[in-house]
Chains A and B, each alone.
Chain A
Amino acid sequence: MMTHWCILPSVLGFFLASVLDGLGRWEAKLRVWGRRLFIVGWISQTAYLFFWYREVGAPFVVTQGDSIFLISWVIATLYLILGRRERWQTLGTLFSAAVLVVMLLGIFYRGANYAAIYLWPHAWVVPVHLAAAMTAVAVFAVAMITGVLLVISDRQLKNHKPMRFRLPSLANLESVLSALVSAGWVLLTVVLATGVVMMASHGSIDLGGHWWLAVTAWLIYAVVLHSRLWQGARGRKGMLLSLVGFLAILLTFLEAHSK
Chain B
Amino acid sequence: MSELAIIGVSHHTTGLDLRERMSFSDTEATTLLAQLRDAALVEEAMLLSTCNRTELYVALESTNRLNDLKNHLSQSKGLDVLPFYEKDGVDAIRHLFRVTASLDAMMVGESQILGQVKTAYARSKEMGLLQHVLHRSCQRAFSVAKQVRTETDIGRLPISASSVAVTLAEQIFGDVTDCRVLLVGTGDMSALAAEHFRSAGAKQLVVVSNAGDHAEEFAQKFDAEMMSREQLEEALVGADIVITATRSATPLLDQLFVQRIQKKRHNRPLLCVDIAVPRNVEADVNALDGVYLYNIDDLKGIADANMTARESERQKAEDIVDGGVQKFVDELNGLQLVPAIASLHQKCEQIRRDEVEKVISKIQDPQLREALESCTQAIVAKILHQPVVELKATHAEDASRPALDFFRRLFGLEV
Q: A residues touching B (Cβ–Cβ < 8 Å)?
A: 27-29, 153, 157-158, 160, 162-164, 166-172, 174, 231-237
Contacts and interface: CB of A to CB of B under 8 A. Distances in A.
B309 A172 contact: no
Given A162-B305, A237-B289, A170 B173 contact: yes
A82 to B, nearest CB: 14
Interface stretch (B116-124, B223-231, B264-272, B365-373): B264-272
Contacts of B289: 234-237
Interface in B128-152: 150-151
Given A162-B309, A231-B266, A233-B267, A171 B151 contact: no
B172 A163 contact: no
B168 A157 contact: yes
B205 to A, nearest CB: 19
A104 B170 CA distance: 38
B97 interface: no
Contact of A157 (B153, B266, B292, B306): B292
Interface string B193-234: 000000000000000000000000000000000000000000
11 contacts: A28-B150, A29-B151, A157-B171, A157-B292, A158-B292, A160-B294, A162-B302, A162-B305, A167-B171, A171-B269, A234-B267
A163 B294 CA distance: 14
Contacts of B170: 169
Interface of B: 150-151, 153, 157, 167-168, 170-175, 265-269, 286, 289-290, 292, 294, 298, 301-302, 305-306, 309
B302 A153 contact: no
Contacts of A29: 151
Given A168-B174, A169-B172, A170-B171, 17 more contacts: A158-B292, A160-B301, A160-B302, A162-B157, A162-B302, A164-B157, A164-B309, A167-B171, A169-B171, A170-B269, A171-B173, A171-B174, A232-B265, A233-B267, A234-B267, A235-B289, A237-B289
A236 to B, nearest CB: 7
B167 A232 contact: no
Nearest to B156: A166
Given A169-B174, A170-B172, A160 B298 contact: yes
Contacts of A174: 269
A163 B163 CA distance: 13
Nearest to A167: B171
A232 B268 contact: yes
Contacts of B157: 162-164
A224 B298 CA distance: 33
A166 B292 CA distance: 17
A174 B289 CA distance: 14
B302 A163 contact: yes
Contacts of A166: 171
Rank and list the top 4 A-B pairs by shortest CB-CB distance, nearest first: A232-B266, A169-B174, A232-B267, A162-B305
A160 B164 CA distance: 11
A204 B241 CA distance: 58
Contacts of B171: 153, 157, 163, 166-167, 169-170
Contacts of B305: 162
Nearest to B151: A28
B260 to A, nearest CB: 14
Nearest to B172: A170
Contacts of B174: 168-169, 171-172
A169 to B, nearest CB: 4
B142 to A, nearest CB: 18
Contacts of B268: 232
A12 B23 CA distance: 58
Nearest to B295: A160
Contacts of A28: 150-151
B178 to A, nearest CB: 10
A166 B173 CA distance: 13
Contacts of A163: 157, 167-168, 171, 302
